[in-house]
Structure 1
């Protein structure tokens, strides 16, 4: 699933390639992907003639700002936005097609059909984003904020990092990397972390997310950006996907366990529980 760095990279690509596009016609081949608010009666009708002003991001969500409407879009597992020429063949995994005035299409492609595009009148933008109940961004959250949030839970730190209400944008890959960088065992109770550890955790979040964005995100399965390019942060991963290999810090063996039903990679020597 694309996490914050991947979604940020897609956002930047769309702003580079699609800003100012005008919609001529709309085709939806899998209606469940598109959801509209009660004030809009028809997605196709609402989108014809719309011009894309820009794309923003909040957590793992893309916010498309059109002339009169907004989209709140989540890519889920394998969603992609592409901008091919209109004449190019449409494959069976492309489910939303916006034919553009400039001869291109904006296409939403999703092999597993899990992604969603929610369309709202523009005046509902703030309410629509607030309804997501997202926590602060990992590049902005402070150690003090983390410490206070963790005092209200009895969960381990790993699922807390994945909880979008606590911190917006972190998924399984970056949670493992952040905990390795912070030398915190993923099963450590979040409420047991000291203020100093929370400060260290916040710093690791900011550093890793920033670096991953600079590298265009992580491609471990099918992720590509709006240009169809892979990310490159997978070349810098320290623990994720490295079970059985030596830790980059202490050279002991990386292990993989389940934490809150999620595969979790860590170094049992560097990340000792209770330390």
Structure 2
């Protein structure tokens, strides 16, 4: 699933390509892919709208349109949004096609059909439970707020990082990588982390996210940016997807467990497990 760096990369690429472009038509080829309305209602609401900006909130891709509308995409596991020329031949997994003035098209493709698109007014977007309940953005999160989030729960730290209601945008890749950088076992209890450990985790999280954005994200399976290119950060991953291989620091074999229903890779020597019965620094 595209995480914060991948969605941020897509948003920046689409912003360059779409800012100021006018929508002239819409094709909904798989009705279940859209939230609310049908092809005719989307056509009426989107026609002649100008794309003013393309941004991100958590893992959501958010297009700001003229007239106070917002076109939102959740890419889920295999969703892709990119701009194609008029000569492009629409394929079976292209579920939403937005026609632009000048002939180009914005295509939402999703092989597994887990993703979706929604069209909202500002009030509707603010009231949408998924959007409304998103936690703060990690790149702008302050140490005091982050410490408060961790101190409020006995849950395992990996589960806290993945909880979009606590912190928005983090997925399996960057949770594993930030925990490794901070030397924290994924099963550590969030509330057991000292101030210095919590601050180190936030620093590691911000660092790995910024580095991944600079590299255009991580292409593990399906991810491509707005131009159809692969990301490059996967070559820099220290633990994610490397179970059984040697740790880059101590050369011990990396281990794999499941936390919060997700595969978690870590180094048993470099990452300490902190519990509330034994606080460490």
1:189: which partner in 2? 189
Which residue is equivalent to 1:100? 100
Contact kept? 2:125, 2:131, Cα under 8 Å: no
* Contact 2:184–2:272 (8 Å) recurs in 1: yes
Corresponding position: 1:65 with 2:64: yes
| 1:220 alignment partner in structure 2 | 220
Give SS of 2:136's match.
coil
What's the CA shift for 1:82? 1.8
Alpha-carbon distance in structure 2 between the residues aligned to 1:143 and 1:98: 41
Q: Does 1:51 align with 2:47?
A: no
Which stretch shifts more, 260-269 or 129-138?
129-138
* 2:277 aligned partner: none
5+ residue gaps, structure 1: none
Secondary structure of 2:108's aligned partner: strand
Aligned equivalents of 2:115, 2:185: Cα separation in 1: 32
Report the alpha carbon displacement of residue 128 of structure 1 after superposing the two structures with TM: 4.7
Match of 1:177 in 2: 177
Shift, 1:132, TM fit: 2.9
Is the Cα–Cα contact under 8 Å of residues 126 and 132 in structure 2 kept in the other structure?
Answer: no
- Structure 1 residue 87: deviation in Å? 2.9
Structure 1 length as normaliser, TM-score? Answer: 0.94
Distance in 2 (CA, whole Å) between partners of 1:131 and 1:170 is 15
- 3-state DSSP class of the match of 2:99? strand
**For 1:154 and 1:123, how far apart are their aligned partners in 2?**
35
Q: Can you list the C-alpha shifts for 1:175-234, whole angstroms capped at 9, x where unaligned? A: 000000000000011111111111111111111100000000000101000000000000
Secondary structure of the corresponding residue to residue 16 of structure 1? helix
CA distance in structure 2 between the aligned counterparts of 1:169 and 1:212, rounded to whole angstroms: 13
Contact 1:21/1:51, CA 8 A, preserved across alignment: yes
Give 1:78's aligned residue: 78
Deviation at 1:131, TM superposition (A): 4.2
Q: Residue 140 of structure 2 aligns to a residue in which SS?
A: coil
Two-structure CA RMSD over aligned residues (Å): 1.9
The 8 Å contact of residues 142 and 199 in structure 1, kept in 2 or not, is answered as no
Number of equivalences: 274
Residue 44 (structure 1) shift: 1.7
**CA positional deviation for 1:143:** 2.7
